[in-house]
Amino acid sequence: MRLRQLQGLALARAGDVARAHGVFSALEAEGHGDAETLGMLARTAKDLGLREPAGAARIAHFTRAFGLYERAYENARRSAADDGAIYAGVNAATMAVLLGRSDRSREIAMQVHGIAERSDPGEGAAAYWREATLGETALVLGDRESARAHYEAAAGLADGRYGDLAAPGGRPASSPSTWGPWMPTRSPPRYPRRPSSFSRGT
């Protein structure tokens, strides 16, 4: 399975999103419901949506992406897999925002914020991802000052080493830069959302 995940990632990074989506769809059809597989499938669904003009086709892809992220999130929560829950949950919350599902986005964001707050702050990349997650969930919840503080902390932890911290897969469902002009002067990178195994490059 791991080799096929990597194959799908390589295709996605090369811009062949449709084939990547096919790889991850096949893995899902075989019963692989882990956060990584569902998350990567959701990401390609979102990217397919971004290639469509505004309208029904785009909404359909975004709706599928949200459903996959939400499913991955709930699966991870049930198995107490905090890394997977954070990764899938923050993307589900931001996709829900894009779909206008404010109540569900806030519900998920509040849960993910709590999981991230309870998690071990760690060091290096782990600390960065934690602050970035807390920033994005605070933003979804409407707490802009808290979001600003967490994004500033994440940017400080990155210290310009965004390439070192970035994992395969590109941006999250929604990046901080889309949320308005209030962002700090040292904007955090358009970070991806991957479980810890991917963000550590394994």
DSSP string, 146-198: HHHHHHHHHHHHHTT-HHHH--TT-S-SS-GGGG-TTS-SSPPP------HHH
The pLDDT confidence band at residue 111, using thresholds 50, 70 and 90, is: very high
Q: For residue 87, give both structure tokens.
A: 């990764």
82 versus 189: the higher-pLDDT residue is 82
199 versus 100: the higher-pLDDT residue is 100
Average pLDDT (171-177) is 39
Which candidate, 93, 161, 176, places its Cα nearest to that of 127?
A: 161
CB of 112 within 8 A of CB of 141? no
pLDDT of res. 33:
86
Q: Where do the domains of the chain lie? A: 2-199
Residue environment code for 163-174, b if the CB has 16+ CB neighbours within 10 A, otherwise e: eebbbbbbbbbb
pLDDT of res. 124:
80
Q: For residue 15, give both structure tokens.
A: 């811009």
Q: What is the pTM of this model?
A: 0.78
Measured CA to CA in angstroms, residue 33 lies from 1, 58, 115, 175, 179 at distances of 12, 24, 21, 25, 31
pLDDT of res. 77:
94
Burial class (CB in 10 A: 0-12, 13-18, 19+), 145: exposed
Phi and psi torsions of 88, nearest 5°: -70, -40
Distance of alpha carbon 125 from alpha carbon 178, whole angstroms: 23
Reported as half-sphere exposure (CB side, CA atoms, 13 A), residue 86 has a value of: 27
Distance of alpha carbon 168 from alpha carbon 43, whole angstroms: 11
pLDDT of res. 125:
82
Average pLDDT (121-143) is 90
Distance of alpha carbon 70 from alpha carbon 92, whole angstroms: 5
Q: What digits encode the pLDDT tens for the residues 17-54?
A: 999 999 999 999 999 988 889 999 999 999 999 999 99
CB of 133 within 8 A of CB of 112? yes
What would be the CATH architecture of the domain defined by 2-199?
Alpha Horseshoe (1.25)
